[in-house]
Amino acid sequence: MPPIRVLLAGESWVSNSTHYKGFDFFSSTVYETGIAFLEKALPPDEIALTHLPGHLAAAQFPLTLDELAAYDVVILSDLGANTLLLHPETWLRGQAMPNRLKLLKTWVEGGGGLAMCGGYMSFAGMSAAAKYYRSPIEDALPVTIFPFDDRVEVPEGAQPVVVDTAHPLVAGINGEFPALLGYNELTLKPDAHLVARVGDHPLLATREVGAGRTLIWSSDIGPHWCPPPFLSWDGYGVLWRNIMRWLAKAI
């Protein structure tokens, strides 16, 4: 079988720091990504992962259904809605461009597999800046998104609980999930299916949308909400391989 074609948009950031040395100061900038653990967990002969960093997504994220058809699965992770809404041609030159949130929903209805993973620019996000509330993406996902900052920081650790142990997403995973350090607070839709929760909130949930499938993982795919014990856990790779297969209808 050919590999599952996955586009992961987001999971990158640029940090700028000012360093003071007495009277003098200087600045430094660093570019980082959050995909290393996920990338390592996915066998390339089975899952072909394309990473589209946040600073490139505004211009390079697919603009047509034909372009989206190059992928079986699309994952949005720590990438706010404005990045997909404000193509440079719109933002800089005032040109009308396709609404990629609507495009993704149509692509899912036609058979695509869409996931959103948690983070400071996912769902509502920090200061509600991610802005997926009342968007076409929210229409497609298994959850309702709040219009306010939905982060739940749990530095002491929060224990996930699998509520559907027979679901293909958790096949091959033995024992408890390790603790997580935070997540986005969400509400399950009536026609969605809950696979795992954290506290009283959905952690892993699915939904059938037209001919396609959607899924949410409400915590990070890497640090900081997903801490080292979770990332080094044998079930981490099993879980993410199952997620890709389920979204692509390979299981």
Decide: helix, strand or coil at residue 142: coil
User: Please, what are the domains in the chain?
Assistant: 4-247 (3.40.50.880)
Distances (CA, A) of 235 to 177, 180, 202, 239: 8, 14, 19, 6
| Paired strand residues for 84 | none
Interval 78-97 mean pLDDT: 98
- Give the model confidence (pLDDT) of 131-166 as tens digits: 999 999 999 999 999 999 999 999 999 999 999 999
10 Å CB burial of residue 171 (0-12, 13-18, 19+) is: middle
pTM here?
0.96
66: left (phi over 0), alpha (psi -120 to 50) or beta: alpha
Does the structure show a pLDDT above 90 at 172? yes
